[in-house]
Structure formats: C-alpha cells, structure tokens
Amino acid sequence: MLESARYDLETAREEDAAARQECARLEGFAAQAQLLRATAEDALDALDEEERTSEKQKKEIRERTEALESASRKAEAERDELRAAMEKESAGAEDFAARRKELEDSVSSVRAGQAALDAEKNTAQLAIRQLEQLRNELQSDEAQRRSAADVVVANNARLEEQLGVCRERLATLNGQIETQKVALSQLIERKMEMEGKRSAADRAAQEKNRQLLDLERASARLEQKKLAADMEEKQLVDKLWDGYELTRTEAQTVRQPVESFSKTTRQVAELRRSMNALGTPNLGAIEEYKRVSERYEFLSAQRDDVEKSRQEILKIIAEITVQMEDIFRREIVQIDEAFRRIFAELFGGGKASLSLEDENDVLNCGIDIRIQPPGKAVSNISLLSGGEKAFVAIALYFAIMRVRPTPFCVMDEIESALDEENVIRFSKYMRRMSNKTQFIAITHRRGTMEEADQLYGVTMQEKGVSSVLAMDMDEALKTIR
C-alpha cells in the first residue's frame, strides 16, 4: 500500500509538472497574443492616420482640379469673345492684323495655359488614381489586420480559457498531492510502527532462541545426570541382589516398620549372629538402598521438569514457526505483486508470477517461477534462454529490493548476458531505483555506463603500474555542451 501511494504521489507530481509546463506555455502564448494584438492595434491606428492624410490630399487635389477647370472655361470664353471681336473689326486691315496678332498671342498664351492646366489635370487625376489604389490597398490591409486582430483576440480568449482550466487542474493536482502527502505520512508512521513491532518480535524470537539453547543445554546436563543416576541405581540393585539375592521390588515387599527399639535391637543382634553364621553380609545395603531410592526420586523429578521444559520449548518453536510461515507468506505475496509489475515494465509486457510448491510446508518447499514473455506461451524459467533467465532474475531481484529496499547494492556484471535493448531497460530501471538505493555496478556494457553518475576505470599506462581514472558524467556533459 505504501509503494502504491508513493507511485500515485510520483504520478501526481509528474502531472503537476506537466500542468505547470502547459500553463507556462499557455501564458507565453497569451503574452505573444497580447503583443500581436497591441502591434495590430498600432498598425490599425497608423492606417487610420494614413487614410485621413490621403483624404486630405485627395480633397486638396480636387479643389485644385476644380480651380484649373474654372480657369480653363474662363480662357475658352475669352477666346470666343476675341474671335467675335476679330470678326467685327475685320474692316480695318491694319487694326485687324494688329488685333489678330494680339489675339493670336492671347490665344497662344491661353492655349499654353490650357495645356499646362491639362497636364496638371492629368497629373492630378493620376495622383487621385494612385491615392484611390493606395486607399483600397490600405483598406484591404486594414481588413486583413482587423481580421488578424480578431483571430488574435479569439486565440487570446481561448488561451485564457485554457489557462483557467490548467489553473483549475493545477489546483486539483495540488490538492491531490497534499492528500497523497498526508496518506504517505500516515503510511510512513504505520510502517515505522510495524517496523517497531517487527523489531520487538525479532528480539523476542532471539530471546526465545537463547532460552531454547539454555534449556537444551540444561536438558543435556540432566540427561547425563539421569544416565549417571540410572547407572548408580543399577549398581545398587545389582549389589542388593549380589548381597541378599533380593530384587528392588522384593526388598520393598519385605520391608517392615520398627515397633520397639530394644526388641528390634535384639532382633538385629540375632539376625547379625545368623548373618555371621551365614557369612560376611553387606551391612550398608539398606542405607545404600534408601540413598539410591532418594536419588532415584530426585532424578525422576528432575526428568519430569526437563520433559515439561522440553514440551514448553517445542510449543515456543511451533509458535515461532507459525509466525515465520505467516511472515514468509506475506512477504512472498508482496514480492509476487512487485515481480509481476516489474517484469511487465522490463520485458515491455507479458506476465510473471511466483508460487509455493507446497502450501503445507512453506519453509521447506521450493518456489515456482512461472513467466510468459510477450508473444510466447506460459513456461517455466528452466525453459528460457540464458539472456531471458538473466533478465527474469534481474526482475526478481528488483522486486525483492522494491519490497525490502537496501541503502547500498553492488552488481557485478549481472547484465552481461542481455542484448543492447534490454541493457538499456535494465539501466533505466536501476536509475529509477537509485533514489532509495546507491548502486555500484561492475560492468563493461555501454548502456549501463551511460546511466551512471560517476565512472571509475583502472588502466596500466606504464607496465606494472595501475592507475584509477574517475569521471563525473554531469561535469563531462557540461564540458561537451
């Protein structure tokens, strides 16, 4: 559950980074659109100013043309009047010639003025046509710029809308991140609590093991004492038989209580005389029997205590075994889940699973690895090629490290049997796990070395003298760039 929450948190962080990049990109687009809009507005203002200037020039040209046309009509009228006066005064030849010359000069002057006016009129009309064309072009440019400005405004509105959506999405992702952080902190606290319980259980198991060893040693000592007592009892029973020809049971049967000491004394004296008559008896047989009996009872009690302790130890061993089986089952389930996910990531698909060969004997049975590479049927790991076996072993090793991370790990050419593509997958996944574990990889494969932060190599530039070369990959990249 903790790994899932961490995975969700990493995913949320990646989505947050992507959303922030998208927001930055949209803000850049918005700024560019605003800049284009301001440029378009400036261009429209300039076009309006040019249009007003062209209208003013056009008005001046029209006024000037009208003045030229009025002067032309006035000159025509004067010419007609001069012709009429010339016809009236045709009676006098000299006056007529002088007047004619004067009229001709006047007509020439009027014609020259008319020609000048015509040329100026043509120039004015050409300027008017040019201004009209310029006006049309300006109006066309104005329409295009206004259309472009409208498009920019629309794009700006759309970008503003997208920016708002991205900001809402960013707020949502921030909320999700905070939630995931709270959940992660709770899971971390729970993990620390479980680690504490596990440590306490480990200490208790170690204490139980120590007690078990002490009890086994005590049991061995008692067994030795019991053997010695049995040997001593056997010797006493043999002596009782050799001295009195009595078994232990028979001796207990003939045993009698003492009623009177004097009478018993006399009886003992008589018995001694009888015994002396019989020969030299073993006078300490009864006391020796009593002592052996007491010793036997003591050792029997010790044996019962040892048997009771043995049963308690066996009970503790059974409880510890049950706990070990539960822990092993739980850990193998977690490793199986991580192995399934990591196998699919490394192989680019496919399925994999771990299963116990005998559920009733968890601690002694084997573990079956079933895998299905992409595009192949389900098979046992023993049916794979050498490279596939190595890659499956790497996936299983990463799964164990995912369940039980270690602060430090040394890998000695474990990817040597892989092809280039799988070496790249292996090195990239090892890079992903380097935030929790520091890896030292002994390798000759290029893909693994490209993902390293530091490279170390041994060379012998001089015969018999080895030197170590070190390279910081980040510094090397900066130097290359």
Closest by Cα among 433, 323, 295 to 7: 433
d(CA 228, CA 303) in angstroms, rounded, equals: 13
Asked if 16 and 179 touch (Cβ cutoff 8 Å), the reply is: no
- Phi, psi at 353, each rounded to 5°: -155, 155
Q: How far apart are CA 396 and CA 334, in angstroms?
A: 12
Pair of tokens at residue 136: 């049309």
SS3 content of the chain, % helix, strand, coil (to 5): 80, 10, 15
Overall pTM surpassing 0.85 (yes/no): no
Would residue 37 count as lying in a domain?
yes
Q: Specify if 384 maps to a domain.
A: no
Q: How many Cβ atoms are within 10 Å of 270's Cβ, its own excluded?
A: 10
Q: Are the CB atoms for 102 and 79 separated by under 8 Å?
A: no
Q: Give the integer Cα–Cα distance in Å for 18 and 450.
A: 26
pLDDT for position 127: 60
Task: Give the residues across from 379 on adjacent strands.
Answer: 371
Per the document, the length of the chain is 481
Supply the CATH number for residue 417's domain.
3.40.50.300
Whether residue 324 lies inside any domain: the answer is no
pLDDT in tens, the chain (481 residues): 556 656 666 776 777 677 677 667 766 666 666 676 676 667 667 666 766 776 776 677 677 667 666 766 776 676 666 666 556 655 544 555 565 566 556 556 656 655 665 666 666 567 666 656 766 665 665 566 666 666 666 766 776 777 777 677 777 777 777 777 777 778 778 878 888 888 887 888 788 888 888 888 888 888 888 888 888 778 877 766 776 666 777 766 766 666 676 777 777 678 767 767 666 556 667 777 788 888 888 888 888 889 988 899 988 988 888 888 888 888 888 998 988 998 888 888 888 888 888 888 888 888 888 888 887 776 777 778 888 888 889 999 999 998 888 898 999 998 888 889 989 999 999 988 888 889 999 999 888 888 888 899 888 888 888 888 888 888 877 777 6
Element (H, E) at 426: helix 420-433
Cβ neighbours for 480, distance < 8 A, ≥ 6 positions apart: none
Q: How far apart are CA 402 and CA 199, in angstroms?
A: 20
* Residues whose CB falls within 8 Å of the CB of residue 151, separated by 6 or more in sequence, listed in order: none
Q: Phi and psi dihedrals of 220, rounded to 5? A: -65, -40
> Residue 230 domain-assigned?
no
Domain that holds residue 10: 2-194
3-state SS of 269-301? Answer: HHHHHHHHHHCCCCCCHHHHHHHHHHHHHHHHH
In the prediction, which pLDDT does 170 show? Answer: 72
Gap between the Cα atoms of 119 and 125, Å rounded: 10
The answer to whether the beta carbons of residues 402 and 331 sit under 8 Å apart is no
What stretch of H or E contains 380? strand 379-380
Last residue of a domain, one of 125, 160, 194: 194
Q: How many CA atoms lie within 13 A of 51 on its CB side?
A: 14
Sign of the CA dihedral with 325 first, then 326, 329, and 335 last: negative
Environment class of residue 427 by beta-carbon count within 10 Å: exposed (0-12), middle (13-18) or buried (19+)?
A: buried
Please report whether residue 272 resides in a domain.
no
Please report the pLDDT score of residue 226 as a whole number: 83
Using the 3D structure, point to which of 194, 224, 256 is the last residue of a domain: 194
d(CA 22, CA 27): 8
Number of structural domains found in the chain: 2
Mark which of 144, 168, 194 sits at the end of a domain.
Answer: 194
CATH code: domain of residue 70: 1.10.287.2610
DSSP character for 363?
Answer: T
pLDDT of residue 409: 92
Asked whether residue 260 is assigned to any structural domain, the reply reads: no
Q: Are 56 and 133 in contact (CB under 8 A)?
A: no
Assess if residue 387 is contained within a domain. Answer: no
Predicted local distance difference test score (pLDDT) of residue 475: 81
Rounded distance, CA 141 to CA 54, Å?
15
Residue whose C-alpha is closest to residue 185's, from 6, 453, 317, 27? 6
Is residue 422 included in any domain, yes or no? Answer: yes
Q: Which two tokens stand for residue 165?
A: 């959506």
- Rounded CA gap, 350 and 339, in Å? 12
